Amino acid sequence: MFRSVDDVTARLAETGYLASPAVATTVFLAARLGKPLLVEGPAGVGKTELAKAVAAITDARLIRLQCYEGVDESRALYEWNHAKQLLRITAGRDETWDQTRTDIFSEEFLLPRPLLAAIRGDDAKVLLIDEMDKADVEVEGLLLEVLSDFQVTVPELGTVTATRHPFVVLTSNASRELSEALRRRCLFLHIDFPDEELERRIVALKVPGLDEVLTASLVRVVGALRAMDLRKAPSVAETVDWARTLLALGADRLDEEVVRASLGVVLKHQEDVRAAAAKLDLDAV
């Protein structure tokens, strides 16, 4: 899949994802060892984006299971298409029940959900299980089963075994502790806020029109905000938004007025805005 860690870095960069050495190394290793990758980190540091980028550079199909409270087997694994089955039953009135039954529990009436879809077929796939921490614990059990032998049993159809393992990425914001068993299955990657140099490059890539000196100042102020112990530290996504705002405002340098006018773009809570304004010596915001 990849020749080296540098190969990962270079190819990710081509799709617009700038990976830190930690990210590139872990992706490379996950591909080589064939292990799922568990990615944790604060909101907006590029966890989801990473999975998409990996799919893009490996010409793989991205299959995404978006987790939420209450997601269950029928959403994650497969479901029978009941409506279609009913139609079929009514259509075939002169068959024996046995015939009908074999027929309605066949491929044609199966609705594969992400986990099943990811192990069927022999094209390359990236399976993204996004925001795993939002799902209930029961889903973890299901996942563990699928991830340990990459096979799924549909009682009426038999067992589907992957002929080609997907590259699996799980993401979590750690709002719930994932089970030890699931963690043990995975390689672990914590993506942190990027360092200054990397963040400057991300901004330059996403908001190419912004002046270089201004970009550097902006990244420094974001760094200071992150050190401030706020309720929600600004993420990369917010840095990029701020850069876009400054470009739209036509600002050519960072000054008190510009910061005061746009701080709300970077900080999402009013109390954070107030705390930051005090620390940055801004007059009332």
Partner 1 sequence: MSTPAHSTAATVPDRVTSLVRALRTHGIRIGTGESVDAARAVAVLGLADRDQLREGLAAALLHDRGQRAVFDPVFDLYFPRRVGAPGGDGPGDGARFEEKDFDRDGLRDRLAEALAASDRAAMAALAAEAVDGLGGYGSAPGSDGFSAQQTLERLRPQTLLARVRAALRAGGGESESGAFTDRVEADEIRRRIEDFRELVRAEARRRVAERRGTDEIARRMVVRTADRADFLYAGRSQLAELRRAVHPLARKLATRLAARRRRAARGHIDLRRTLRGSLSTGGVPMRPVLRRRRPARPELVLLCDVSGSVAGFANFTMLLVQALHDQFSRVRVFAFVNRVDEVTELIARGAADPEGLGGRITTEAAVTGWHGSSDYGGALTEFVERHAAALTSRSSVFVLGDARTNQMDPGLAALRRIARMARRTYWLNPEPRSQWDTGDSVAGAYGQIVPMYECRDARQLSALVGRLLPV
Ligand X SMILES: Nc1ncnc2c1ncn2[C@@H]1O[C@H](COP(=O)(O)OP(=O)(O)OP(=O)(O)O)[C@@H](O)[C@H]1O
Residue 22 lies near partner 1 (rule: CB under 8 A): yes
C-alpha to C-alpha distance for 72 and 141, rounded to whole angstroms: 11
Q: What's the min distance (Å) between Cβ of 149 and ligand X?
A: 28
Candidates 11-19, 76-84, 115-123, 245-253 — which segment interacts with ligand X by CB under 6 A?
11-19
Beta strand spans in the chain (E): 37-40, 61-66, 78-80, 110-112, 125-130, 151-154, 158-161, 167-172, 187-190
Q: Which residues pair with 79 in a beta bridge?
A: 111
Candidates 41-49, 148-156, 200-208, 245-253 — which segment interacts with Mg ion by CB under 5 A?
41-49
Residue 48 lies near Mg ion (rule: CB under 5 A): yes
Residue 46 lies near ligand X (rule: CB under 6 A): yes
Residue 173 lies near ligand X (rule: CB under 6 A): yes
Q: Which residues pair with 170 in a beta bridge?
A: 38, 129
Number of residues that bind partner 1 (CB under 8 A): 46
Q: What's the min distance (Å) between Cβ of 173 and Mg ion?
A: 8
Candidates 44-52, 57-65, 178-186, 219-227 — which segment interacts with ligand X by CB under 6 A?
44-52
Candidates 71-79, 119-127, 215-223, 241-249 — which segment interacts with partner 1 by CB under 8 A?
215-223
Q: 249, 225 in Cβ contact below 8 A? A: no
236's contact among Mg ion, ligand X, partner 1, none, with CB below 5 to 8 A by partner kind, is: ligand X
Q: What's the min distance (Å) between Cβ of 163 and ligand X?
A: 30
Residue 185 CA, distance from chain mean position: 18
Q: Which residues contact 214 (CB under 8 A, 6 or more apart)?
A: 246, 251, 252, 253, 254
Q: Which residues pair with 66 in a beta bridge?
A: 130
